Amino acid sequence: MPIRPFGSATAWRAAALLGLISSTFSTLVSQFTAARIGRDAMVDWMVVAAIPLRDAALQAEPSWAVVVAGILFHQWADFSWALVFFGLLGRWTAGLSPATLLVLCVPWALLTSCLEWFVLVPLLPFRQPLFTLEQPYWIGFLVHLTSASIYPLFPALRDRVEGRRPSPHRRFCALWAGLAAAGASGLGVLALLGWLGWEVPHLGDEVAYDQSYLRRMTEHHEQGAQLAALAAERAEDPRLRALAGLMAAAQAGEIAVMMQWWDSWFAPASPLCTPQEREAMPGMAHPEQVAALRRSEGRDFDALFVALISRHHAGAVQMADEALARAGDPRIRLLSHAIRHQQRGEIDLMHGRRDLAAVASATRNLLLPFGRVDADRALTDAAGP
């Protein structure tokens, strides 16, 4: 049978088939890996859903409808990138060998994740700063890399669509697909074990520090989640109400992950903070401040909440910055970097950062430690009401 030229309808059909496979694979890997690196998958899917659905997707307890919307939007994006690579650019890419595609998957993941994080989501066409300010860039890069790792299967899929049998790429395709399936299955087993209470054992030598950090950050998050849940019900501004729901969900999800790690790594040690640890936590609201927030209404409530949660977030960021330098287990450092980025981003969102200003803030939040300017701004906000 004669082989059709690349870049034709054949390449588009094979690209569509690959897009379905690669997007499903990245969804499964993301779901299975999330809690292993300190993420709550339900919250992450909710943040993705907020790209097209805006504030309507943000909930203190992510619903399955919102989670499914986030998964579908993610899969649509991954599917579209496969069409771009092998369909739109098929004249140059549809005839590449599996080895070449394997080499190209890293720069392609870098390019596409950068376009999404820096341009397509916060600027045009979506103009949604939340995704970029809430999720650190490395999460998107890992997701795109997972999807692009399936691209070496394209030559065998193209041969199948063309009816070219046997395909000269069938052995590589079977090997690579087997490795991908084994990797996803292994991550699935780890996710199941984590759900049952067993995680990969604690790594590193800083056991005492890691225990103290998890205790302190858990208690810090508990107060933050309580304040945010209150604002999700009572804030007058609908935008602030939606953001507060996101804050409550994100902090509750991180508490669940930290407690899952604690139960696996350190039980039967007590997860409760000592008085000295509690006293040393920065940004915690005093009981009288919480009581004043509960008594407030309308715009006064909104202003006081923004002040208290800005200071509270600033304290969590200081703790996360310290953990980035001192924590022993690399998973705690990943969690801490995500907390630092997320909570600084939420301060920016409450203060209306959008468009290029949001991209600039997110880039700073991603790369730079918490500086004096950030601290001064949070303290000024907290002293306002």
Average pLDDT along the chain = 92
Torsion region of 7: left, alpha or beta (phi above 0 gives left; psi -120 to 50 gives alpha): left
Max Cα distance, the chain (Å): 81
**Is the pTM for the entire model greater than 0.75?**
yes
What would the pLDDT profile of 299-347 be if each residue is shown by its tens digit? 999 999 999 999 999 999 999 999 999 999 999 999 999 999 999 999 9
Predicted local confidence at residue 343, as pLDDT = 96
Residue 99 burial (CB count, 10 A): 10
Spatial separation of the C-alpha atoms in residues 160 and 137, rounded to whole Å? 36
Q: How large a percentage of the chain has pLDDT more than 90?
A: 86
Asked if the peptide bond before residue 125 counts as cis, ω within 30 degrees of 0, the response is: yes
Spatial separation of the C-alpha atoms in residues 15 and 290, rounded to whole Å? 55
* Segments in the chain below pLDDT 70: 1-7, 371-385
Residue 217 burial (CB count, 10 A): 25
**Cβ-based burial of 164 (10 A; exposed 0-12, middle 13-18, buried ≥19):** middle
Q: How large a percentage of the chain has pLDDT more than 70?
A: 94
What is 207-383's CATH number, 1.10.8.50, 3.40.50.300, 3.40.50.2300, 1.20.1260.10?
Answer: 1.20.1260.10
What would the pLDDT profile of 255-314 be if each residue is shown by its tens digit? 999 999 999 999 888 888 888 888 889 999 999 999 999 999 999 999 999 999 999 999
Contact 343, 225 (CB under 8 A): no
Domain segments of the chain as ranges: 9-195, 207-383
Predicted local confidence at residue 382, as pLDDT = 46
Predicted local confidence at residue 9, as pLDDT = 85
Predicted local confidence at residue 3, as pLDDT = 45
**CA distance from start to end of the chain:** 78
Predicted local confidence at residue 163, as pLDDT = 86
Spatial separation of the C-alpha atoms in residues 177 and 21, rounded to whole Å? 10
